[in-house]
Amino acid sequence: MLLALIVLYVVSLLYLSIIERFRHYVMIIALQGWMLLGVALLRLHASQWYELAFVVLETLVFKALVLPAILYRVIRRTGINRVHTASVAVFNQLMMSMGLLLGSVVVTYYMVSDSPFDMVFFGVALYAVLCGMLLIITHKRIFSHLVGFLVIENGVFLFAMAIGVEMPYLINIAILLDILMSVLMLGMVIARIGTRYRHMNVDNLDSLKD
């Protein structure tokens, strides 16, 4: 079951590179939230109720429900629809994404094979972080960059699972709130940018230079 979820997660990351509509991005982000919930519950051996409650709060409430809701609101408010101003062709993006997947497997094999880290989780986490960066680099629209940020953030969540460390709860909650606040602020900024620049391309944001 766990392996199936991880494979599905990798497929969702691959699919990100060929998406052409912003609504599909939000769907994938919500889906990843559900998958992370499943992965976390299956991985969490501790049976304390508050640990389970926190995982549900973080993955289901925030990642699968609240963040997609904010993103949908931004889409409605700005009226953006298609991801048609990618600076790299879709086929090339897919090839790059697959290349990153291969690179992640190789790096994980050589870096983690003799360590206590979980190789599968580590590899997928690395791939997620790289995918988020790829999304930011290859897309011109600002909304795609926000999605890239969330993909990286999900990768960091998986990374924490790969390492298997226990962080204090106060800090976990603070981190979660930080991310929520960041997304809220970015959403607000995007909404304002959307009212000023019709296409919301990063090309519009070039007035600050020397």
Partner 1 sequence: MMTAYLLFAVLIAGLMALARSHAQVRALGYAFYAVQLIFAASVWLWARDTEQLQFFTFDTLGSLFLGLLSVISLVAFCQSNVYLKDETLHPFKTYHISLALLCTSATAVYFSNNLAVTWVFLEATTLATAGLIYHGRSESSLEATWKYVFICSTGILLAYLGVLLLSTVATQGDLSYASLAGVIATGNPLYLKIAFLFILVGYSCKLEVFPLYTVGIDANYAAPTPASAVISTVLVNAGFVSLMRVYRLFALTPVYSWVSGVLVLCGVISVLVGAVYLRRTNHYKRFFAYSTTENLGIVLIGLGLGGVAVFAAIFHVMAHSLVKSGIFFNVAQIGKIYGSYRINRIGNYVSVNRLGSVSMLLGTVSLLALPPSALFISELMIFKQVIVSGQWWLFGVMVVLLCFVMYSLSYRLLRLLYKPVHMSADGYSVNRWVTWSGFVLILSAVVLGVTQPDWLVEFIESMLAG
- Which residues of the chain form contacts with partner 1 (CB under 8 A)? 111, 115-117, 129, 136, 142, 145-146, 149, 152-153, 156, 159-160, 163, 165-168, 171, 174-175, 178-179, 181-182, 185-186, 189-190, 192-193, 196, 205, 207-208, 210
Identify which of residues 83 and 142 has a Cβ nearer to partner 1 in the complex: 142
Query: Measured from the CB of residue 69, what is the shortest distance to partner 1 in angstroms?
Result: 19
Query: Measured from the CB of residue 91, what is the shortest distance to partner 1 in angstroms?
Result: 27
Identify which of residues 20 and 178 has a Cβ nearer to partner 1 in the complex: 178
φ, ψ at 201 (rounded to 5°): -90, 150
Cα–Cα distance for residue pair 89/17, rounded to 1 Å: 10
Count of Cβ atoms closer than 10 Å to residue 208 Cβ: 5
Identify which of residues 61 and 107 has a Cβ nearer to partner 1 in the complex: 107
76-112 core/surface letters (b: 16 or more CB in 10 A; e: else): eebebeebeebeeeeeebeebbeebbeebeeebeeeb
Identify which of residues 1 and 45 has a Cβ nearer to partner 1 in the complex: 45
Query: Measured from the CB of residue 132, what is the shortest distance to partner 1 in angstroms?
Result: 9
The SS3 of residue 201 is strand
For residue 201, the cross-strand partners are: 141
Identify which of residues 1 and 114 has a Cβ nearer to partner 1 in the complex: 114
Query: Measured from the CB of residue 165, what is the shortest distance to partner 1 in angstroms?
Result: 4
Identify which of residues 1 and 208 has a Cβ nearer to partner 1 in the complex: 208
Query: Measured from the CB of residue 95, what is the shortest distance to partner 1 in angstroms?
Result: 24
Query: Measured from the CB of residue 4, what is the shortest distance to partner 1 in angstroms?
Result: 26
- Residue 48 has which token pair? 């304390």
**Identity of residue 201:** N
23-39 core/surface letters (b: 16 or more CB in 10 A; e: else): eebbbbbbbbbbbbbbb
In 63-168, alpha helices (H): 67-78, 90-112, 119-138, 142-163
